Amino acid sequence: MTEVVSDTLYSADRVSNANGSSAGLVCLGLSKSYGGTSVLTQVDLSLTPGSVLGLVGENGAGKSTTSSIIAGMVRPDGGSMTIDGEIYDPQSPADALKAGVALIHQEIRMVSELSVAENIFLGRLPMRRGRVDRKLMNEESRSILKLLGSDTDPRRQVAGLSIAAQQEIEIARALTREPRYIIFDEPSASLGESETERVFDQIRILRDQGAGIVYISHRLEEIRTLADTVVCLRDGKRVAAWETGDVSKEDIVRAMVGRDFVFSHLAPKDATTEVALEVRGLGRTGVFEGINFAVNRGEILGFSGLVGAGRTEMVRTIAGADRHDAGEILVDGTAVKIRGPRSAINAGIAMVPEDRKGQGLNLDRTGAENITLPWEPSLTTGGIMTVRTVNATANLQREFLDIRSKLDIPVGSLSGGNQQKVLLGKWLVTRPRVLILDEPTRGVDVGAKMAIYKTIRSLAEQGVAIIVISSELEEVLGLSHRVLVMSGGRQRGILDRADATPEAVMALALITDSSDDAQPSNQPGSSPQGRSESQ
């Protein structure tokens, strides 16, 4: 393993020497600043055809800026790029595509009313005698999708396809331009483990066909399995590079944060024996059924399973976001009727949703406004909510959660980590007895992740019952006292911390409906729910 850690520049000669020639896409000294703030300083990258370059770094380290520059979306202030020794200076994404460079975005952008093939060829539908040549379009789409190992019918509508399938269409769209260099900007952010595996397979196919690939991810395991070389950015500078993908996680993390970090595998403090939340026979027709579990005060219960296992759907009914039509929910031993988010909050249940932008935060409003949104009576005096109370409440959460930003600016302009902390703070204001965290560290950098883990642990120690859902197995296993595994909308088992090995969890998560070890229990005593507040 050749590790190169340097705080100074990586010289151009060494980049090209390392590869023996200037073949491929070479970036030298890329720099960019916005309004006096430097976001990228003298970054060198070298991408060889037929290899995968893993690009890592915390949020704000400059990964996205680098990829935007390479893809022609942002013009650099300094530096140069060459492809096979020739100057490459894209003025726009269209230029970049012409030169054979494609960027696959983190967020999926689909016109859901159009067909799969139309999305793949969006903006340049093949024409024949003044009409769209559907036959050609569908055939080409089919062959590209087949290359990716997908059998999605190109004629069907995009609406209703899974996120993973849409991601494939996104990749297929880029492939129609026959790019030689492809940048994947966190493609796994919204995918579960098995879907991610599939994307990996696709990336390997593209690599084997000679494409040069930049793979950006927060998930270090992925970088290790996929990358041939790894480059780490920090504060807009290239701080480390490895000529192999076989880098230890600790090494990468040290380079990313500039210090050692050890994700505590220490067991959490013992939970109490007081049951805070109990769920009996919970079900929602066609989505999940027969869910039975209890969480004690001070306990962290992890939820594991593949995407689509029904975990999110299940906790949403506990938090009143959706209706459940079977079973009952008990808080502190008393059955509570959850008719909507309000009644869940009143019962002491808070849920931090997985979709921060769509469900968690009002991005145009300030952090302070977001934190005080859940309308706590304690925040008003005589029915009046003063600016002072709002600010004091926000400040309290800012200190407790170590939010590293002002809170009087729109949350949309904060980093992912700070946004997530604001979202957490918003729910802590309601002083929940039961806190449900759905993907609490999605799209969050390592530093913020650690801070959030620490907060979760300390909340548990204060007696809050916590449910954590995460697609990252390590996160669930590291945090939880016990792990509940779901698949196909059913509960497949609850493992104690000692038994919850990755293998044991995956074995349960892969159980299919045919194996009938969890009986659906539609308890007759369950009362019909009132209309939910869903709009």
Partner 1 sequence: MTQINNEPRTSGAVDSAAAAPSDLGTGSWKSTAGSKMASVMGSVPGPLIGLIIIFIALSFLSPFFLTPRNLLNILSQVSAIGVMSVGAVLIIIIGGIDLSVGSVVALSSMSMAWLFRVAELPFEIALVGGLVVGALIGLINGLLTAYGKLQPFIATLATMSAAAGLALFLTNGNPVNGFPQWFLAITSTSFIGIPIQGIVLILIFAITAFWLRYRPSGRALYAIGGNEEVARLSGLPIRRAKIAVYVIAGILAAIAGLLVTSRLDSAQPTAGVADLLNVIAVVVIGGASLSGGSGSMLGTFVGLLIIGVLNNGMSLLNVSPNLQPVVVGFVIVAAVMTDRRTSRKKS
Site for partner 1 in 188-247 (CB under 8 A): 234-236
Q: Which parts of 444-483 interact with partner 1 (CB under 8 A)?
A: 445, 447-448
Q: What minimum distance in Å lies between the beta carbon of 392 and partner 1?
A: 7
How is residue 322 annotated by DSSP? S
Cβ 307 vs Cβ 471: under 8 Å? yes
| Among positions 16, 31, 46, 64, the unique one binding partner 1 when judged by CB under 8 A | 64
Q: How many other C-beta atoms are found inside a 10 Å radius of the C-beta of residue 114?
A: 15
CB closer to partner 1, 265 vs 531 = 531
Which listed range, 106-114, 408-416, 496-504, 517-525, lies at the site for partner 1 (CB under 8 A)? 408-416
Residue 141: its H or E element: helix 134-147
Q: Is the dihedral of CA 45, 108, 308, 335 positive or negative?
A: positive
Which listed range, 75-83, 96-104, 107-115, 402-410, lies at the site for partner 1 (CB under 8 A)? 402-410
Binding mask 14-53 for partner 1 (x = CB under 8 A): --------------------xxxx-x--------------
Task: Classify each residue of 290-313 as buried b or exposed e, where b means 16 or more C-beta atoms within 10 Å of its C-beta.
Answer: bbebebbbbbbbbbbbbbbbbbbb
| Among positions 103, 345, 434, 495, the unique one binding partner 1 when judged by CB under 8 A | 345
Task: Classify each residue of 330-349 as buried b or exposed e, where b means 16 or more C-beta atoms within 10 Å of its C-beta.
Answer: bbbeeebebebbebbbebbb
Take residue 307 and report the two structure tokens written for it. 């995407």
Count, residues near partner 1 per rule CB under 8 A: 74
Phi, psi of 430 (to 5 degrees): -80, 0
Adjacent-strand bridge partners of 216: 55, 185
Strand locations in 457-534, DSSP E?
Answer: 465-469, 482-487, 490-496
The CA distance from 169 to 127, in Å, is 21
Q: Does 273 bind partner 1 (CB under 8 A)?
A: no
Nearest to 102 by CA among 46, 178, 204: 178
Q: What minimum distance in Å lies between the beta carbon of 462 and partner 1?
A: 22
Cβ 56 vs Cβ 5: under 8 Å? no
End-to-end Cα separation, the chain, in angstroms? 56
Q: What minimum distance in Å lies between the beta carbon of 202 and partner 1?
A: 28
| Among positions 21, 380, 458, 501, the unique one binding partner 1 when judged by CB under 8 A | 380
| Among positions 104, 241, 414, 477, the unique one binding partner 1 when judged by CB under 8 A | 414
CB closer to partner 1, 37 vs 527 = 37
| Among positions 22, 292, 405, 522, the unique one binding partner 1 when judged by CB under 8 A | 405
CB closer to partner 1, 50 vs 410 = 410
Which listed range, 44-52, 90-98, 404-412, 512-520, lies at the site for partner 1 (CB under 8 A)? 404-412
The CA distance from 405 to 397, in Å, is 12
Q: What minimum distance in Å lies between the beta carbon of 75 and partner 1?
A: 12
The CA distance from 197 to 199, in Å, is 5
Q: What minimum distance in Å lies between the beta carbon of 10 and partner 1?
A: 19
CB closer to partner 1, 142 vs 449 = 449
User: Collapsing DSSP states into helix, strand and coil, what is residue 276?
Assistant: strand
Cβ 360 vs Cβ 344: under 8 Å? no
Q: How many other C-beta atoms are found inside a 10 Å radius of the C-beta of residue 433?
A: 17
Q: Which amino acid is located at 467 in the chain?
A: I
| Among positions 353, 432, 478, 488, the unique one binding partner 1 when judged by CB under 8 A | 353
| Among positions 25, 103, 165, 321, the unique one binding partner 1 when judged by CB under 8 A | 321
The CA distance from 391 to 382, in Å, is 18
Got the DSSP string for 388-403? HHHHHHHHHHHHHHT-
Q: What minimum distance in Å lies between the beta carbon of 31 and partner 1?
A: 13
Binding mask 415-434 for partner 1 (x = CB under 8 A): x-xx-------x--------
Q: Which amino acid is located at 239 in the chain?
A: V
CB closer to partner 1, 305 vs 320 = 320
The CA distance from 148 to 21, in Å, is 31
The CA distance from 195 to 216, in Å, is 17
Long-range own/partner contacts, residues 85-92 (CB < 8 A, 24 or more apart): 85/22, 85/23, 88/25
CB closer to partner 1, 368 vs 435 = 368
CB closer to partner 1, 387 vs 498 = 387
| Among positions 364, 461, 496, 513, the unique one binding partner 1 when judged by CB under 8 A | 364
| Among positions 379, 494, 504, 506, the unique one binding partner 1 when judged by CB under 8 A | 379
Which listed range, 17-25, 55-63, 103-111, 177-185, lies at the site for partner 1 (CB under 8 A)? 55-63
Q: What minimum distance in Å lies between the beta carbon of 345 and partner 1?
A: 4
| Among positions 44, 185, 195, 369, the unique one binding partner 1 when judged by CB under 8 A | 369
| Among positions 368, 469, 483, 518, the unique one binding partner 1 when judged by CB under 8 A | 368
CB closer to partner 1, 80 vs 391 = 391
Q: Does 73 bind partner 1 (CB under 8 A)?
A: no
Q: Does 387 bind partner 1 (CB under 8 A)?
A: yes
| Among positions 29, 60, 90, 290, the unique one binding partner 1 when judged by CB under 8 A | 60
Q: Does 360 bind partner 1 (CB under 8 A)?
A: yes
Cβ 488 vs Cβ 469: under 8 Å? no
